[in-house]
Amino acid sequence: MAPVTTVGEEMHALVERLYPLCRSITGDGVRATLEIVGEYLPLRVHEVPTGTQVLDWTVPQEWNIRDAYIADATGRRVVDFAASSLHVVGYSVPVAATVPLAELRRHLHTLPDHPSWVPYRTSYYTADWGFCLAQDTLDALPDGDYEVRIDSTLADGHLTYAEHVVPGQVADEVIVSCHVCHPSLANDNLAGIAVATFLARELAQRTPYHTYRFLFAPGTIGAITWLARNAERVERVKHGLVLACAGDRGQLTYKQSRRGDAEIDRVLRHVLAASGRPHRITEFTPYGYDERQFCSPGFDLGVGSLSRTPYAGYPEYHTSADNPDFVRPEAMADTLAVCREAFSLLDRNRSYLNLSPYGEPQLGRRGLYDSLGGRSDAKEAQMAMLWVLSLSDGRHSLLDVAERSGLPFDTVAVAADALRGAGLIKA
């Protein structure tokens, strides 16, 4: 019998499959990535032409690359794009030249503090070119002339992004966003893509209360493009979560929305605290991932960001050391579990109205106490019913009840279901 594959291992396999692709903010690498994700989820892919005005930005030209290298006098490739997509500065313009090492150095990027690692660099909005390589490789290069070749195109084309929607019982939406613009970087952000993909598959197996919209888009310009093209839908977005750096060994970190008191903030704070997991809650800053676009003052959406070690918080960030070995199946599974718990709570977090508000209703004659017979948590369940009745005034949610009573949210939600079934409360 074949060994059982865990969800963490399945997500890790997806990371490994996506890792070699050369992604950027536009281009065929993004399309190839979305094609693979599309094998797991039905996607609606959007192509937005170069030059399209999107809020204060303009969709840039599309960049694609076929090959790139630096070769020594013998023709040996000392730096080779075929070995890693990190070796070329993203959005490098085409180059075909022979230059001395002294001149070439002006276009080379290394990490002297980590001499065996290759950095990740981009030049999205400036016409430039460059190579990234290990400091050890650079130190071993003798003086002399080197052939430099970048076979790329920068031309009018499209920006590509995709959506997957899990229909809910209501039209109110939860946005789950991850970026698809990074090349061979496993934690940032292939782990986020994997967690989002498997989360969407799980939600599709049931009918959630909210409608969940998964957004796979290049960072910054992708979110801005989506917001510009969906202005009429933004008012439906009640909650949101950006996933990034979702697979390293670090403790979970939740970065709150700009509001700081949005329902998604309260839900994540509660879920992480109740779980007993080591975690950090951080305040919003206008730097990071696409939460800063969704939270910009004109939109002011309740969107936070969930990661493990946040961006730039680990040495491997934006380097070749952020490879599939760096991300752990169990870490991605844990991130997925927190998302599952948070959205389950979010979907059940209602406000209720007590239909028998004058005095305490008699629970015994409605069989509510009898339903607790033999339960080890009967006292806790009884208290949950009393708390729900007490705070069902249309102004308090079940999360309010759980936090004020100190009872587990699940216990409170089950009590609310029982009371609703007995006709004592209504949503």
- Helix residue spans in 236-365 (DSSP H): 263-275, 291-294, 329-348
Fold held by 65-155: Glucose Oxidase; domain 1 (3.50.30)
What's the pLDDT score for residue 370? 62
Residues in binding site: 182, 188, 318
The CB density around residue 307, as the number of other CB atoms within 10 Å, is: 29
Provide the token pair at 286.
Answer: 């206008």
Backbone Cα Rg of the chain = 26
Pinpoint the residues of the chain covered by CATH 3.50.30.90.
Answer: 65-155
What residue ranges in 125-236 does DSSP mark as E strands? 131-132, 145-155, 158-166, 173-179, 211-217
C-alpha dist (Å) from residue 27 to 62, 63, 158, 299, 313: 6, 5, 8, 28, 29
Output the CATH code of domain 351-426: 1.10.10.10
Query: Which residue from 347, 426, 348, 345 is spatially nearest to 389, judged by alpha carbons?
Result: 426
Please list the pLDDT of the chain residue by residue as tens digits (427 residues).
345 479 999 999 999 999 999 999 999 999 999 999 999 999 999 999 999 999 999 999 999 999 999 999 999 999 999 999 999 999 999 999 999 999 999 999 999 999 999 999 999 999 999 999 999 999 999 999 999 999 999 999 999 999 999 999 999 999 999 999 999 999 999 999 999 999 999 999 999 999 999 999 999 999 999 999 999 889 999 999 999 999 999 999 999 999 999 999 999 999 999 999 999 999 999 999 999 999 999 999 999 999 999 989 999 999 999 999 999 999 999 999 999 999 999 999 999 999 999 999 988 888 887 655 555 567 888 899 999 999 999 999 999 999 999 999 999 999 999 999 999 999 9
Fold held by 7-60+158-347: Aminopeptidase (3.40.630)
Tell me phi and psi for residue 227, to 5 degrees.
-60, -40
What's the pLDDT score for residue 372? 55
In angstroms, the CA 220 to CA 289 distance is: 7
Q: DSSP secondary-structure letter at 352?
A: E
In angstroms, the CA 391 to CA 398 distance is: 9
Residues in binding site for Zn(2+): 182, 188, 318
Pinpoint the residues of the chain covered by CATH 3.40.630.10.
Answer: 7-60+158-347
What's the pLDDT score for residue 292? 97
In angstroms, the CA 249 to CA 358 distance is: 53
